[in-house]
């Protein structure tokens, strides 16, 4: 199996992934998804800005998203990364509390719902990272920091989308799909996170209904 080291940094594409840049109380470059959430000054990693979403029973859907218009003519992998902490999040990990990526290929076809889910319950900052291998050139990519279908409070910070130059010898059109990567917790523990990169059958449509 072809493996790929993610220690080598790709080209960062996402703007304001740390939510530090704000305007009128909102994080610049991010869009509230559905009910959105709030900017959380001082509640991000190391006391920086983050964003927070709170959902109660019967509540709606929350999150922040950013769409990158890429208009690529070549095929290159993306590294998707982000951090979250949680307070009393109900249920078990799934795509409802996750980094959630939708892709539109240059030929107009979609790849919806590539996700990496965070742990539920109450936890400090934890990172999720995965490599997304498109099988065609990408027109646009949307990253959602998503919270729905659970109750509780979640914070997001330090999101990133990086584009990686395809390694030498890689096929021009890599196998479709995503590749699981090990995750690193704040304590430095490395391990495979069950449930990440599962495509969620209920959400084959774009989150935006497209
Ligand atoms: Ca931050």
> What are 40-96's pLDDT values in tens digits?
999 999 999 999 999 999 999 999 999 999 999 999 999 999 999 999 999 999 999
The CATH number assigned to the domain holding 72 equals 2.60.120.260
Could you tell me the distance, in angstroms and rounded to a whole number, from the CA of residue 46 to the centre of ligand 1? Answer: 8
Instruction: Write out pLDDT tens, residues 153-199.
Output: 999 999 999 999 865 555 544 444 444 443 333 333 333 333 334 44
In a domain, 136, yes or no: yes
Asked whether residue 39 is domain-assigned, the answer is: yes
Specify whether the CB–CB gap between 148 and 36 falls below 8 A: no
Does residue 201 sit within a domain? no
Per the structure, how many domains does the chain have? 1
In a domain, 2, yes or no: no
Sequence-distant (6+) residues with CB within 8 A of 126 are 83, 84, 85, 118, 119, 183, 185, 186
Q: Is residue 1 part of a domain?
A: no
Position 194 in a domain? no
Name the residue range of residue 106's domain.
11-167+175-181
Phi, psi of 154 (to 5 degrees): -135, 150
Closest CA to 157 of 84, 66, 90, 65: 84
Between the CA of 16 and the centroid of ligand 1 the distance, in Å, is 9
Which residues have a beta carbon within 5 Å of ligand 1, which is an ion?
18-19, 44, 48-49, 157
CA–chain centroid gap for 142, Å, is 9
Ligand 1 center to 23 CA (angstroms): 15
User: Does a structural domain hold residue 123?
Assistant: yes
Q: Flag whether 3 is in a domain.
A: no
């Amino acid at each position: 199996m072809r493996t790929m080291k993610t220690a080598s940094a790709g080209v960062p594409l996402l703007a304001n992934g740390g939510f530090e840049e704000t305007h009128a109380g909102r994080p610049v470059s991010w869009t509230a998804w559905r009910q959105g959430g709030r900017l959380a000054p001082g509640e991000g990693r190391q006391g920086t800005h983050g964003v927070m979403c709170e959902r109660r029973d019967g509540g709606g859907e929350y999150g922040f998203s950013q769409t990158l218009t890429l208009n690529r003519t070549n095929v290159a992998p993306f590294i998707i990364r982000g951090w979250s902490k949680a307070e009393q999040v109900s249920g078990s990990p799934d795509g409802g509390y996750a980094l959630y990526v939708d892709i539109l290929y240059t030929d107009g076809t979609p790849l919806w719902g590539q996700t990496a889910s965070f742990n539920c319950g109450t936890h400090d900052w934890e990172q999720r990272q995965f490599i997304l291998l498109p099988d065609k050139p990408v027109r646009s990519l949307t990253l959602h920091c998503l919270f729905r279908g659970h109750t509780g409070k979640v914070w997001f910070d330090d999101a990133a989308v990086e584009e990686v130059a395809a390694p030498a010898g890689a096929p021009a059109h890599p196998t479709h799909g995503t590749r699981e990567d090990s995750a690193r917790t704040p304590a430095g523990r490395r391990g495979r996170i069950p449930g990440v990169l599962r495509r969620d059958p209920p959400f084959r449509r774009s989150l935006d209904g497209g």
